[in-house]
Every structure is written in C-alpha cells, then in structure tokens.
Amino acid sequence: MTQSADRSANAPLSVQYEESEDLGSNTSANATLGDVIAVRYDRRDLLKGLLGCTAIAATVSPVALMVAEEARAQGANTTPSFNFKEIAAGSDERHHVAEGYDADILIRWGDAVVPGAPAFDPLGQTGAAQAKQFGYNNDFLGFAPIDGKSDHGLLVVNHEYTNEELMFPKLGRQDTTAKFAGMTKELAEVEMMAHGGSVIEIRRQNGKWGVVPNSTFARRITADTPMVVTGPAAGHDLMKTNADPTGTKVLGMLNNCAGAMTPWGTWLTCEENFNGYFWGKAEGANEKALKRYGAPGNWYNWGQYFDRFDVAKEPNEVNRFGWVVEIDPFDPNSVPKKRTALGRFKHEGAGNIVNRDGRFVVYSGDDERFDYVYKFVSEGTVNTTNRAANADLLDKGTLYVAKYNADGTGNWLPLVHGQGPLTAANGFPDQATVLVQARLAADALGATKMDRPEDIDVNPRNGKAYLMLTNNSRRRPEQVDAANPRADNKFGHIIEMEPDGGDHAALAFKWNILVRCGDPSVAAVGATFHPNTTKDGWFGMPDNCAVDNAGRLWVSTDGNSPAATGRADGVWAMETDGAARGTSKLFFRCPNGAEMCGPYFTPDDETFFVAVQHPGEADDDAKEPATFEKPSTRWPDFKDGMPPRPSVIAITKRGGGKIG
C-alpha cells in the first residue's frame, strides 16, 4: 500500500496516503504502458468488435471472450478449479471466510512477542513495551518451516506504518494540517517501535495454530534496530552521516510493505514509502534526488525529536532507506542487512525464483504512479546443500528495469554504471550512485511508466510472473485510448510476464494483461474478467498476491470500500490458465476500514495466512472521522475501550485438506 504526504484530506487514511503521496514524481518523457497498449491493438479491431460491439464486449477482454467461446465450441469445462463456495461481497464490522473454513486470529497488535513483554495496555503505551510486543499494521507474511514441517515454523511479519488516530486515545489524526499538536516524543517512540517486523514461532496442534510462548526464535525489529549496509553502495559518500561516518551502519527499517522468503530460509523485507518519515525541506546538491523520491514527506514529526529524520541536519540519512533488507529468522542475534545491489526505490515485493542456471532472480515493483518494474539477477548461484554459502549472494549481480514494447514483448535494461547514459557526465559517477538514485537511472534508460507496480510473484510451475498494478487515477485521457490501460484508472490491472525461453536471466520477455479490474457490469469501467465471474467475484485495486502449489493465483486488495466499490477488501482466487482463465472468486473478506495484506501458504497448502491492516478506518472521514474512541469497527476484540487491532489470521479447512 502507499501513504501520503498530507494526511488531512477527508478520506480514509490509507486512501489519503495513496492519493496525496502518490503524486507521481516521475517527470521523464518515458513511454507509459498506456502508450504501449494503444499501439499494440489496432483501432479498427476495436471498432470491429473486440471491445466495442456489445455490452459484454465492452466489459470482457478480447482474450477472455475468445478463450471462452473456443472452450464452449469444443465442449471444454469452464468451471474454475477452485472448489470453495464463494462468499458475498459487502462490508461490515467482521471478517468473513468461505464456507467450510475457519479463520482464526493468530496474533494481534500489542500481543507479546519476546519474553518479558508486558500485557497490552492501550491507555498506557510506551516505546519500551511496544518494542517487545507485536507491531502495528502487519503487511507481508512469510513462513519458514522448522524441520521441514508445515505444522511448525517461524512466521515473519512486516509492520508497515502507524495510524495514530486509531492507536492513541483523545489524539485524532496528526499531520501537517494539525501541526502535530498532539504528538510528543514519547508517542513518537511508540510509533517507531511499532514499525519494522516480528518473528514468531508458531505451531499447529489439534487443527489450530498458536504462538509458541517464550520462543528462543522470537524477535522484534524496529525503527531503531542496528543494521548493516552491504553491496556496492556500502561506505559510499552518499551513505555517510554524522552518526555513521563509515556509511555502513543504519538504525532500523521503515515502511516495510511486501516481501518474500528465499529458498535458503531468509526473509526479504521491502522498505516502501520511506520518504514520508523525513522532516524539513529538500535543499542543496541532494534536492533533485530527494524530489524524485518525494522526500522529505513530513508525514511524521519524528524529525522534531531525532536529528536523523531531519534532512537539514542529516541530508544523507534518507539515502539509507528504500532498500530490500535480508534477515535470518532462525538467528535472533543476526544483524539485518540492507542489500544495496537490489537498488533503492519504493520496493513492493521481492518475488523470486532460482533460475535454471542456478542464479537467483528477484522481481520488484516501485509502488508509485508512473514508476517502474525491476529485476535483480545474482552473479553467483544458489547453493541448495549449504545454507551458509548463500549468505552474501545478494551483494553481487545486475539490476534491470523493464521496458514494455507495443508488440507484447519487453526488454530488461541494465542499471550498470558506464553503460548507455549512466555516466559521470549525466550525474552517475559510479555504480553506487546508480543504485542509490535508481529512479533517476531508470528515467535515463527510458523504462516504461507503470500504474503503481506493487507486488509481483513467480509461478514456479509455468515460470510466469504476475504483476499487480493497483491503480493510476492520474493517467490523463490523452495518454491512452480505448484499448487499455484506462484513463483515470481507479481499479488497476494484472500483467502476466513470461521470460524468453523460460530463462529468468534473459534480457527479453513476453507480456499480456491477465485481467483489467473493476465492475464488469459497468461498461465505462472496461473491466475484463472472464464471463463466468460473478457479481461477488470481481475486485479492484490488486495489491499483494500469492501462488499456491497448484500454480493458482490468489490476489489481495487495497482500496475497496463501500464508497469506492460497494465492498470491503479481501482475497480473491484467480484462474490463470485454461478455459476458465480470468475467472475470480471471493474467498475472504476484511472488516470495515481494513486492507488485505500478506497472503502466504504453508508448504502443504493446508494453511493460508493473511494480514488485516488498519481495521477501523472510516469510509468517509468528512462525514465521521475515525478515532480511537469511535472507529468503524472494534475488530477483532469487540470490547469497549479496546481499539481495533491489526492482526494475522490463520485460515484452515475444517477437517483438514488443501485451501481452495
């Protein structure tokens, strides 16, 4: 998800974050995806009927129509492989899951994580207590089996950001409009400790999951946890500060959104909207780069209390955030590592695969309107027998940015100093600068501007990658035509990418649009779900995703609400192959005000973990602002005086069996 520079607008906090932060700082003349698609489909084809003859043709993709028609002609079964009974779309104060499944709360904001954690006291929070308790706004979830078992392992969790108006009593929203009048250093410390991540040991017994108390693996990572900088940017002048003249040591990680697990069992957690935590005004030699990243965002007033968040006092501190961080969950004493070879931008996701030549490939989106899609290819190969041998695999390799061509092909452009425009004469004196200022380097290479690239995951069964493009309401009509993507694209779409020859290290790929999101019954929306998709099965704003062992796609959303779409966010199961391709079914629904995050399966596909983020936000703050005292729901506790609490849910099938 994304956050905003100005949190004073009359909209739910998560929507404000998206709308006002995501101004689109990319002013380059690079082609947009709309420019590409407009060329790819001939206007005469559109007028002949591929998109325009009937109401159904206006709302269902040409590919879906052709696949469905051909399947019917051949007598093929277009019934989706997902065999659960779809739940009804809608919105209320509780969560809902498909019939025959249990959705149990596993852990909530404020619950104990490390030994000695005090009981959660919403009226008396402290930074010291929060540093031992489960953090706020759980996002990415990952599961690392212990002894190869699917019923015992470590759950890793990102804690993305904080909603102070829901966290603290009698405070209300704190932003530049409110001049942070209610904030104190003590409250800021609670916020800082509520960021970062958690490692918890969990076990399934008698069919139910629980947290193992006082686990030796348990760990909280916060905005203050010591970390090291590795890779090409380590020690570079752009990374040096008064507190760290070596440019190799950083305190904490910020706005950790999506992520991934590696085959060797480490956790890749992605720093997304780091810019919002910095205070002051961009000036001097760093101004151009700061502006391209939207920094300083002034969303929080931490810079009033801590010099490192004030760009006037520490102009390079901002360069030390926006990275993929690798953490070993099996060693609670290990030092997290910021892997600079993977580039600095608003990372959303780290979908990965071991390439057929053994090299490790990581895909990532830069979550802002008109920004880019990247991949990293390691120099070395994955050692499948010696875990320790992969310890520094992510420090050497090549970062690429995607260019989407009109003919359905694409190219990966290397961000390598000295190649093409990435020279000292153009402001890139070395490889470290290319990586620290990856957005500027990608601009210079002519990458394709995208509609908020968020999570991306790889299907190991067919080798295809699925890219979630959440929306872009700032795309102008002159940038697109009837073909897609759409002007004022409020609902987003999903792109399917296939590497040439099945080689994820290849410099070329093929792409197509799996589905354009939104309500198919409204012709003007231009949604393209399979005709079999029901009124409950369509969705908008795809955000995170997961691929199960059968190769099927599960999509979670960010931005659905009664005001936006008449439904809450949730998880939808999506067919990607065969006659039912493009068919979607609603599996899980969030409570009021919440966003759906972190879908992740155990290796046996018998448990599906999901994260409910910022429950209790208001659908329309202009009418009735959400506060600690008056949230839109008190989920999951439903107790007077207890605020809504972001939580992780374990979904299992009654009687056992695989999900879906």
pLDDT digits (tens, 9 = 90+) for 349-364: 999 999 999 999 999 9
Per-residue pLDDT at 65 exceeds 70: no
DSSP 494: E
Q: Quick check: 256 pLDDT over 50?
A: yes
Q: Is the pLDDT of residue 323 over 90?
A: yes
Helix then strand then coil, % of the chain, to nearest 5: 20, 30, 50
pLDDT at 31: 67
Please give the pLDDT value at position 80: 76
Residue-level pLDDT at 458: 97
Number of domains in the chain: 1
Whether the link from the prior residue into 485 is cis, omega within 30° of 0, is: yes
The pLDDT, as a whole number, for residue 476 is 72
CA distance 518 to 567: 11
Residue 168 confidence class, pLDDT cut points 50, 70, 90: very high
Q: What is the pLDDT of residue 78?
A: 73
- Residue 22 clears pLDDT 60, i.e. is over it: no
Does 479 score more than 70 pLDDT? no
- What pLDDT is stored for residue 406 in this prediction? 84
* Section 219-244 average pLDDT: 98
**Domain presence at residue 365:** yes
The pLDDT of 542-563, averaged and rounded, is 95
> Greater confidence, 283 or 578?
578
Confidence of residue 296 (pLDDT cuts 50, 70, 90): very high
Nearest to 492 by CA among 511, 474, 512, 515: 515
CA atoms within 13 A on the CB side of 550: 16
Q: How far is CA 103 from CA 187, 215, 607, 649, 651, in A?
A: 33, 24, 10, 6, 4
Q: Is residue 5 one of the residues assigned to a domain? A: no
- Predicted local distance difference test score (pLDDT) of residue 199: 98
**pLDDT average, residue stretch 158-181:** 96
Counts of helices then strands in the chain (DSSP H, E): 11, 31
Task: Let me know if residue 573 belongs to a domain.
Answer: yes
pLDDT at 422: 98
1 is a domain residue: no
pLDDT for the residue numbered 286: 81
Mean local confidence (pLDDT), 242-248: 98
Cα Rg of the chain (Å, integer): 23
Cα separation of 296 and 634, whole Å? 33
pLDDT of residue 640: 94
Query: What pLDDT, in 10s, does the model give residues 114-150?
Result: 999 999 999 999 999 999 999 999 999 999 999 999 9
User: pTM here?
Assistant: 0.92
pLDDT of residue 70: 55
Both tokens of 229, joined, read: 């900088």
| Whether pLDDT at 486 is above 80 | no
Instruction: Identify the helix (H) or strand (E) that includes residue 269.
Output: strand 267-271
* 298, 302, 303, 308 alpha-carbon torsion, rounded to 10°: -120
Q: Is the pLDDT of residue 263 over 70?
A: yes
CATH number reported for the structural domain that contains residue 633 in this entry: 2.120.10.30
Task: Identify the pLDDT of residue 407.
Answer: 86
Across the chain, mean pLDDT equals 90
In angstroms, the Cα distances linking 172 to 163, 182, 301, 363, 627 are 9, 8, 15, 38, 6
The answer to whether 396 and 378 are in contact (CB under 8 A) is yes
Looking at residue 29, what is its pLDDT? 72
What mean pLDDT comes out for the span 365-371?
94
| Higher-confidence position of 17 and 334 | 334
CB atoms within 10 A of CB 179: 10
Residues 6+ apart with CB under 8 A from 276: 3, 4, 5, 21, 255, 294, 297, 298, 299, 300
Asked if the model's pLDDT at residue 235 lies above 90, the reply is: yes
- pLDDT of residue 27 exceeding 50: yes
3 domain residue, yes or no: no
| Residue carrying structure tokens 């409110």 | 178
User: Is residue 461 assigned to a domain?
Assistant: yes
**pLDDT of 9:** 36
For the cut 60, the answer to whether the pLDDT of residue 99 exceeds it is yes
The answer, yes or no, to whether residue 19 has pLDDT greater than 70, is no
Instruction: Provide the residue range defining the domain that includes 255.
Output: 13-653
pLDDT recorded at residue 187: 98
Q: Looking at the predicted structure, is the pLDDT value of residue 28 above 50? A: yes
Query: In this predicted structure, which of 282-296, 542-556, 570-584 has the lowest mean pLDDT?
Result: 282-296
Give the confidence band of 76 by pLDDT, cuts at 50, 70, 90: low
Q: Across residues 393-406, what is the average pLDDT?
A: 95
| Of 2-6, 282-286, 310-314, minimum mean pLDDT range | 2-6
Closest by CA position to 332, among listed 247, 214, 250 = 214
